[in-house]
Amino acid sequence: MLEGKVAIVTGAGQGIGRCVAMQLAEKGAKVIVNDIGVSIEGEGNDVAPAQSVVDEIKAAGGDAAVNGDSVSEFEGATNMVKQALDTFGGLHIIVNNAGILRDRMLHKMSPDDFRSVIEVHLMGHFNVTRAAINHMREQQWGRVINFTSTSGIIGNLGQTNYGSAKLGIFAFTRNLALETSRYENITVNAISPFAYTRMTASIPVKDEASRARVERTKKMKAEDIAPVVTWLSSEEGKSVSGQIFGVRAGEIIIFGQPRPLRSIHHHGGWTPEQVGEIAMPGLAPFFDEPKASAAVFPYDPMD
Protein backbone atom coordinates (compact mmCIF):
# COMPACT_ATOMS: atom_id res chain seq x y z
CA MET A 1 0.00 0.00 0.00
CA LEU A 2 2.83 2.45 0.83
CA GLU A 3 5.75 1.00 -1.11
CA GLY A 4 8.22 3.74 -2.06
CA LYS A 5 6.79 6.28 0.39
CA VAL A 6 8.64 8.01 3.24
CA ALA A 7 6.87 9.10 6.43
CA ILE A 8 7.62 11.17 9.51
CA VAL A 9 5.63 10.13 12.59
CA THR A 10 6.05 12.43 15.59
CA GLY A 11 5.66 11.16 19.13
CA ALA A 12 6.21 7.65 17.77
CA GLY A 13 8.08 6.12 20.69
CA GLN A 14 4.97 4.85 22.46
CA GLY A 15 1.21 4.50 22.21
CA ILE A 16 -0.62 5.61 19.10
CA GLY A 17 2.48 6.98 17.39
CA ARG A 18 4.33 3.70 17.81
CA CYS A 19 1.41 1.72 16.37
CA VAL A 20 1.13 4.10 13.42
CA ALA A 21 4.87 3.96 12.67
CA MET A 22 4.84 0.17 12.84
CA GLN A 23 1.90 -0.18 10.47
CA LEU A 24 3.17 2.38 7.96
CA ALA A 25 6.42 0.42 7.83
CA GLU A 26 4.54 -2.87 7.53
CA LYS A 27 2.76 -1.48 4.47
CA GLY A 28 6.04 -0.48 2.83
CA ALA A 29 6.87 3.05 3.99
CA LYS A 30 10.27 4.06 5.29
CA VAL A 31 9.70 5.88 8.59
CA ILE A 32 11.42 8.62 10.56
CA VAL A 33 10.46 7.71 14.13
CA ASN A 34 10.44 10.99 16.06
CA ASP A 35 10.24 11.07 19.85
CA ILE A 36 12.22 12.97 22.47
CA GLY A 37 11.10 10.56 25.19
CA VAL A 38 9.57 12.98 27.67
CA SER A 39 7.01 12.43 30.42
CA ILE A 40 3.38 13.21 29.68
CA GLU A 41 4.02 16.72 31.05
CA GLY A 42 6.95 17.21 28.68
CA GLU A 43 9.82 16.66 31.11
CA GLY A 44 13.01 14.67 30.48
CA ASN A 45 14.68 13.48 27.30
CA ASP A 46 15.27 9.89 26.26
CA VAL A 47 15.32 8.61 22.66
CA ALA A 48 15.40 4.97 23.82
CA PRO A 49 11.64 4.43 23.16
CA ALA A 50 12.01 5.75 19.59
CA GLN A 51 15.10 3.59 19.03
CA SER A 52 13.13 0.58 20.27
CA VAL A 53 10.45 1.22 17.63
CA VAL A 54 13.12 1.55 14.92
CA ASP A 55 14.62 -1.75 16.05
CA GLU A 56 11.20 -3.44 15.92
CA ILE A 57 10.54 -2.12 12.42
CA LYS A 58 13.91 -3.32 11.16
CA ALA A 59 13.50 -6.71 12.83
CA ALA A 60 10.22 -7.09 10.93
CA GLY A 61 11.95 -6.35 7.61
CA GLY A 62 11.10 -2.64 7.35
CA ASP A 63 13.27 0.45 7.31
CA ALA A 64 13.26 3.29 9.83
CA ALA A 65 15.50 5.84 11.51
CA VAL A 66 15.26 7.54 14.89
CA ASN A 67 14.89 11.30 15.35
CA GLY A 68 15.13 13.12 18.69
CA ASP A 69 14.21 16.66 17.68
CA SER A 70 11.42 18.60 19.41
CA VAL A 71 8.32 19.45 17.38
CA SER A 72 7.99 22.64 19.42
CA GLU A 73 11.01 24.12 17.65
CA PHE A 74 10.96 24.99 13.95
CA GLU A 75 14.64 24.12 13.65
CA GLY A 76 13.88 20.66 15.00
CA ALA A 77 11.09 20.22 12.45
CA THR A 78 13.35 21.24 9.58
CA ASN A 79 15.93 18.73 10.85
CA MET A 80 13.31 15.97 10.64
CA VAL A 81 12.47 16.84 7.05
CA LYS A 82 16.15 17.05 6.10
CA GLN A 83 16.78 13.70 7.74
CA ALA A 84 13.95 12.07 5.75
CA LEU A 85 15.30 13.49 2.49
CA ASP A 86 18.92 12.67 3.25
CA THR A 87 18.32 9.20 4.69
CA PHE A 88 15.52 7.88 2.53
CA GLY A 89 15.56 10.21 -0.47
CA GLY A 90 12.07 11.60 -0.11
CA LEU A 91 9.14 12.61 2.06
CA HIS A 92 5.47 11.92 1.39
CA ILE A 93 3.62 11.51 4.68
CA ILE A 94 3.50 13.59 7.87
CA VAL A 95 1.73 12.21 10.95
CA ASN A 96 1.54 14.93 13.62
CA ASN A 97 0.98 12.84 16.73
CA ALA A 98 3.37 14.25 19.38
CA GLY A 99 1.74 15.71 22.46
CA ILE A 100 1.91 16.41 26.18
CA LEU A 101 -0.61 17.11 28.92
CA ARG A 102 -0.58 19.75 31.64
CA ASP A 103 -4.10 19.22 32.97
CA ARG A 104 -5.18 21.88 35.46
CA MET A 105 -8.33 23.84 36.12
CA LEU A 106 -7.80 27.30 34.67
CA HIS A 107 -7.67 28.99 38.08
CA LYS A 108 -4.68 26.74 38.91
CA MET A 109 -3.01 26.81 35.50
CA SER A 110 0.25 28.68 35.11
CA PRO A 111 1.16 30.57 31.93
CA ASP A 112 3.83 27.92 31.32
CA ASP A 113 1.23 25.13 31.59
CA PHE A 114 -0.79 26.82 28.87
CA ARG A 115 2.13 27.84 26.68
CA SER A 116 3.88 24.46 26.77
CA VAL A 117 0.81 22.56 25.59
CA ILE A 118 0.15 25.05 22.79
CA GLU A 119 3.79 24.89 21.69
CA VAL A 120 3.91 21.10 21.47
CA HIS A 121 0.47 20.50 19.97
CA LEU A 122 -0.54 23.48 17.85
CA MET A 123 2.90 24.94 17.13
CA GLY A 124 4.23 21.39 16.68
CA HIS A 125 1.67 20.80 13.93
CA PHE A 126 2.64 24.08 12.30
CA ASN A 127 6.39 23.51 12.58
CA VAL A 128 6.54 20.03 11.07
CA THR A 129 3.94 20.70 8.38
CA ARG A 130 5.47 24.05 7.44
CA ALA A 131 8.89 22.42 7.15
CA ALA A 132 7.49 19.80 4.76
CA ILE A 133 4.73 21.53 2.81
CA ASN A 134 6.84 23.12 0.06
CA HIS A 135 8.47 19.77 -0.70
CA MET A 136 4.99 18.25 -1.01
CA ARG A 137 3.85 21.10 -3.26
CA GLU A 138 6.88 20.70 -5.53
CA GLN A 139 6.35 16.97 -5.94
CA GLN A 140 2.55 17.43 -6.00
CA TRP A 141 2.05 14.52 -3.60
CA GLY A 142 1.62 14.61 0.14
CA ARG A 143 -0.40 13.36 3.05
CA VAL A 144 -0.77 15.32 6.28
CA ILE A 145 -2.57 13.52 9.11
CA ASN A 146 -3.12 15.64 12.20
CA PHE A 147 -4.33 14.68 15.65
CA THR A 148 -7.13 16.63 17.28
CA SER A 149 -9.28 15.65 20.27
CA THR A 150 -12.82 15.76 21.58
CA SER A 151 -11.34 17.93 24.35
CA GLY A 152 -11.28 20.66 21.70
CA ILE A 153 -14.21 19.61 19.53
CA ILE A 154 -16.54 19.04 22.49
CA GLY A 155 -14.78 19.95 25.74
CA ASN A 156 -13.36 18.49 28.94
CA LEU A 157 -12.72 19.66 32.47
CA GLY A 158 -9.20 20.76 33.33
CA GLN A 159 -8.08 21.01 29.71
CA THR A 160 -8.47 24.60 28.57
CA ASN A 161 -4.87 24.47 27.32
CA TYR A 162 -5.13 21.08 25.61
CA GLY A 163 -8.62 21.75 24.25
CA SER A 164 -7.57 25.13 22.85
CA ALA A 165 -4.62 23.53 21.06
CA LYS A 166 -6.72 20.66 19.72
CA LEU A 167 -9.51 22.88 18.39
CA GLY A 168 -6.78 25.01 16.82
CA ILE A 169 -5.58 21.85 15.05
CA PHE A 170 -9.15 21.31 13.81
CA ALA A 171 -9.01 24.77 12.20
CA PHE A 172 -5.42 24.25 11.02
CA THR A 173 -6.56 21.10 9.20
CA ARG A 174 -9.54 22.74 7.53
CA ASN A 175 -7.61 25.80 6.40
CA LEU A 176 -4.63 23.88 5.07
CA ALA A 177 -6.97 21.52 3.21
CA LEU A 178 -8.41 24.59 1.46
CA GLU A 179 -4.96 25.93 0.64
CA THR A 180 -3.83 22.63 -0.88
CA SER A 181 -7.10 21.76 -2.63
CA ARG A 182 -5.72 22.64 -6.06
CA TYR A 183 -3.23 19.79 -5.73
CA GLU A 184 -5.05 16.57 -6.59
CA ASN A 185 -2.65 14.43 -4.62
CA ILE A 186 -2.09 16.46 -1.45
CA THR A 187 -4.54 15.79 1.35
CA VAL A 188 -4.89 17.09 4.90
CA ASN A 189 -7.07 15.34 7.46
CA ALA A 190 -7.30 15.00 11.24
CA ILE A 191 -8.14 12.19 13.61
CA SER A 192 -9.61 12.46 17.08
CA PRO A 193 -8.40 9.22 18.67
CA PHE A 194 -10.09 7.30 21.44
CA ALA A 195 -7.51 5.00 23.02
CA TYR A 196 -6.14 3.95 26.38
CA THR A 197 -2.59 5.29 26.33
CA ARG A 198 -0.08 6.75 28.75
CA MET A 199 -1.84 10.12 28.39
CA THR A 200 -5.38 8.88 28.98
CA ALA A 201 -4.15 6.68 31.84
CA SER A 202 -3.35 9.90 33.69
CA ILE A 203 -7.07 10.79 33.97
CA PRO A 204 -7.87 10.98 37.71
CA VAL A 205 -10.44 8.56 39.11
CA LYS A 206 -12.51 10.54 41.62
CA ASP A 207 -15.84 8.72 41.66
CA GLU A 208 -17.74 5.80 40.15
CA ALA A 209 -18.63 7.78 37.03
CA SER A 210 -14.99 8.57 36.26
CA ARG A 211 -14.00 4.99 37.14
CA ALA A 212 -16.56 3.67 34.63
CA ARG A 213 -15.24 6.11 32.02
CA VAL A 214 -11.67 4.91 32.49
CA GLU A 215 -12.75 1.27 32.29
CA ARG A 216 -14.59 2.05 29.06
CA THR A 217 -11.48 3.75 27.69
CA LYS A 218 -9.38 0.66 28.45
CA LYS A 219 -11.36 -1.20 25.79
CA MET A 220 -10.05 1.18 23.13
CA LYS A 221 -6.55 0.32 21.92
CA ALA A 222 -3.84 2.42 20.32
CA GLU A 223 -3.67 -0.21 17.57
CA ASP A 224 -7.22 0.75 16.51
CA ILE A 225 -6.06 4.13 15.19
CA ALA A 226 -3.31 2.99 12.81
CA PRO A 227 -5.47 1.48 10.00
CA VAL A 228 -7.28 4.78 9.39
CA VAL A 229 -4.01 6.71 9.36
CA THR A 230 -2.49 4.16 6.97
CA TRP A 231 -5.39 4.31 4.53
CA LEU A 232 -5.44 8.12 4.56
CA SER A 233 -1.69 8.00 3.82
CA SER A 234 -2.15 5.80 0.76
CA GLU A 235 -2.81 6.54 -2.89
CA GLU A 236 -6.43 5.47 -2.33
CA GLY A 237 -6.87 8.31 0.17
CA LYS A 238 -6.39 11.09 -2.39
CA SER A 239 -10.13 11.79 -2.62
CA VAL A 240 -10.46 12.58 1.12
CA SER A 241 -9.24 15.92 2.46
CA GLY A 242 -10.30 18.43 5.10
CA GLN A 243 -12.14 15.82 7.15
CA ILE A 244 -12.13 15.25 10.90
CA PHE A 245 -12.49 11.60 11.90
CA GLY A 246 -12.97 9.94 15.24
CA VAL A 247 -11.65 6.42 15.73
CA ARG A 248 -13.03 4.51 18.69
CA ALA A 249 -12.23 0.77 18.77
CA GLY A 250 -14.16 -0.63 15.78
CA GLU A 251 -16.05 2.62 15.22
CA ILE A 252 -15.05 5.32 12.71
CA ILE A 253 -16.79 8.67 13.20
CA ILE A 254 -17.02 11.67 10.89
CA PHE A 255 -17.37 14.93 12.80
CA GLY A 256 -19.52 17.75 11.46
CA GLN A 257 -18.28 21.25 10.83
CA PRO A 258 -19.63 24.23 12.82
CA ARG A 259 -22.40 25.94 10.86
CA PRO A 260 -24.99 28.61 11.73
CA LEU A 261 -28.05 27.13 13.42
CA ARG A 262 -30.32 30.18 13.41
CA SER A 263 -30.03 33.92 12.90
CA ILE A 264 -32.28 36.80 13.93
CA HIS A 265 -32.15 40.10 12.09
CA HIS A 266 -33.33 43.50 13.31
CA HIS A 267 -33.52 46.22 10.68
CA GLY A 268 -31.37 49.16 11.72
CA GLY A 269 -29.42 47.20 14.33
CA TRP A 270 -29.96 46.34 17.96
CA THR A 271 -30.10 48.07 21.29
CA PRO A 272 -28.90 46.13 24.34
CA GLU A 273 -32.50 45.96 25.55
CA GLN A 274 -33.68 44.48 22.24
CA VAL A 275 -30.90 41.90 22.35
CA GLY A 276 -32.31 40.72 25.70
CA GLU A 277 -35.99 41.02 24.77
CA ILE A 278 -35.92 39.67 21.21
CA ALA A 279 -32.65 38.11 20.08
CA MET A 280 -31.76 35.90 23.02
CA PRO A 281 -35.25 34.37 23.49
CA GLY A 282 -35.33 33.61 19.77
CA LEU A 283 -31.89 32.00 19.78
CA ALA A 284 -32.24 30.22 23.13
CA PRO A 285 -33.85 27.03 21.73
CA PHE A 286 -30.62 26.49 19.79
CA PHE A 287 -28.23 27.01 22.70
CA ASP A 288 -25.92 24.06 23.38
CA GLU A 289 -25.17 23.17 26.98
CA PRO A 290 -21.44 22.75 27.66
CA LYS A 291 -20.74 19.07 28.25
CA ALA A 292 -17.63 16.97 28.66
CA SER A 293 -16.69 14.49 25.97
CA ALA A 294 -17.77 11.56 28.13
CA ALA A 295 -21.36 12.82 28.11
CA VAL A 296 -21.42 12.74 24.31
CA PHE A 297 -19.83 9.27 24.11
CA PRO A 298 -21.32 7.48 27.15
CA TYR A 299 -21.71 4.12 25.42
CA ASP A 300 -19.26 1.21 25.30
CA PRO A 301 -17.06 1.07 22.19
CA MET A 302 -17.92 -1.47 19.55
CA ASP A 303 -15.24 -4.13 19.02
Which sequence spans correspond to the domains of the chain?
6-257
Options 3.40.50.720, 3.40.30.10, 3.90.228.20, 3.40.140.10; CATH for 6-257 is 3.40.50.720
In this structure, the number of other CB atoms found within 10 A of the CB of residue 221 comes to 17
3-state SS class at 190: strand
Q: Which amino acid is at 87?
A: T
Mean pLDDT for the chain? 92
Task: Judge whether 183 counts as a catalytic residue.
Answer: no
Q: What is the pLDDT of residues 116-171, one digit of tens each?
A: 999 999 999 999 999 999 999 999 999 999 999 999 999 999 999 999 999 999 99
Q: Could you tell me where the DSSP H helices lie in 36-105?
A: 48-59, 74-88
What is the pTM for the complete model shown?
0.91
Q: What is the pLDDT of residues 181-190, one digit of tens each?
A: 999 999 999 9
CA 144 to chain centre: 11
From the candidates 162, 183, 196, 299, give the one annotated as an active-site residue: 162
Q: What is the pLDDT of residues 191-222, one digit of tens each?
A: 999 986 666 655 666 666 666 666 667 777 89
